Amino acid sequence: MEPFERYRPIIDDFEAFLAACERPLGNAVRVNTIKASPERATAALEEDDVAYEQAEWNPRVLRLETDSPGSTWTSFHGFTHGQEEVSAVPPVVLDPQPGERVWDCCAAPGGKATQIAALMDDRGTVVANDNNLGRISALRFNAERLGATSLAVTNDDARNYSMKRFPFDEFDRTLVDAPCSCEGTIRKNPDALDNWSEGHIDTIAGIQKGILRRAIQTTREGGTVVYSTCTFAPEENEAVVQHAIDEEDCRVVDFDLEMEHAPGLTEWRDEAFDSTLEQAARIYPHHNDTGGFFVAKLEVTA
């Protein structure tokens, strides 16, 4: 947990934060409404005596009291998909609508992409891209298991993504769930900090800036881009969004999140960020007993 010491000045109740990071995470699943309503999915769990609790902020997110959430009838039928509770936040903030064109530019293994398709009632076009061919098979497997028919899968570097393959040249919304240093996954993956270094963070931040810029360029004026990571590092979060608002036509906008969270930072070490970054959300493990996440919502401007 040594790398987290640098966050002591910015995290309220830092000792509670550290304590939460040391506790393992429970099993959460998302109801896949392409295949079953929350009512049918929860009734099926009850029929099989699998105990669950619905998340207060989102009744489609369930905390299961079982050690093997994949060995349930609801999972076999694709009524539910194992997905960490806080991972379900970015698609909800993106708020995609049926019939829209949406890009999930770092989509594998597909939990959020299929959640986007479900939020659109599987109507419209969801382009799920990932640059890692090995992870594409997991993305395809999950998309088919969950019955998403509106999803198209591409394998490219999001930083110079070409729109030429599609019969449209811009998206209505884009999710940038960026590759990151994954500090917030420490409860699920105790090795998450093994390769941690500030140099590593700076390298990833450069990639993140490139992906977010391309996402804004491919999204229509008035469209929405959501930027998220599962890390706490301001270099990968506020600094990346700051770079985007400096270089591209966009602004940070507010959103409702019925979950405890801290505002985005307006300064980190020697760097100051735009005051609008307060509208971003920092979700810490001790807030809702989840993993950690950062989410910012952007509107594309002229």
Closest-CA residue to 36 (of 15, 17, 62): 62
35 versus 213: smaller Cβ distance to other proteins: 35
Sites of contact with other proteins (CB under 8 A): 34-35, 40, 43-44, 47, 70-73, 75-78, 101, 122-126, 136, 140-141, 143-145, 147-155, 165-168
Nearest approach in angstroms of CB 204 to other proteins is: 25
The annotation status of 134 as a binding-site residue, yes or no, is: no
| 9 marked among binding-site residues | no
Query: Using CA atoms, how far apart are residues 16 and 236, in angstroms rounded to an integer?
Result: 23
Residue 110 counted as an annotated binding residue:
yes
Structure tokens at 34: 């392409």
Shortest Cβ distance from residue 35 to other proteins (Å)? Answer: 7
d(CA 29, CA 64): 7
105 classed as catalytic: no
CB of 137 to other proteins, least distance (A): 9
Nearer to other proteins, 63 or 145 (CB): 145
The tokens describing 242, both together, are 């700051």
Is 206 among the annotated ligand-binding positions?
no
Least distance from C-beta 122 to other proteins, angstroms? 6
Comparing C-alpha atoms, which of 103, 107, 165 is closest to residue 133?
107
Is 158 annotated as ligand-binding? no
111 is in an annotated binding site: yes
- Pick the closer one to other proteins by CB: 58 or 142: 142
Check residue 143 and report its DSSP letter.
Answer: H
CA 297 to chain centre: 12
Is residue 94 within 8 Å of 175, Cβ to Cβ? yes
Q: Is the peptide bond before 190 cis (omega within 30 degrees of 0)?
A: no
Closest CA to 263 of 285, 290, 281, 240: 281
CB of 220 to other proteins, least distance (A): 15
For other proteins, the closer CB: 151 or 193: 151
Q: Rounded CA gap, 101 and 87, in Å?
A: 21
Radius of gyration of the chain (CA): 19
The active-site residue out of 105, 180, 182, 230 is 230
72 vs 242 by CB, closer to other proteins: 72
Q: Which two tokens stand for residue 256?
A: 């409702």
Residues annotated as part of the active site: 230
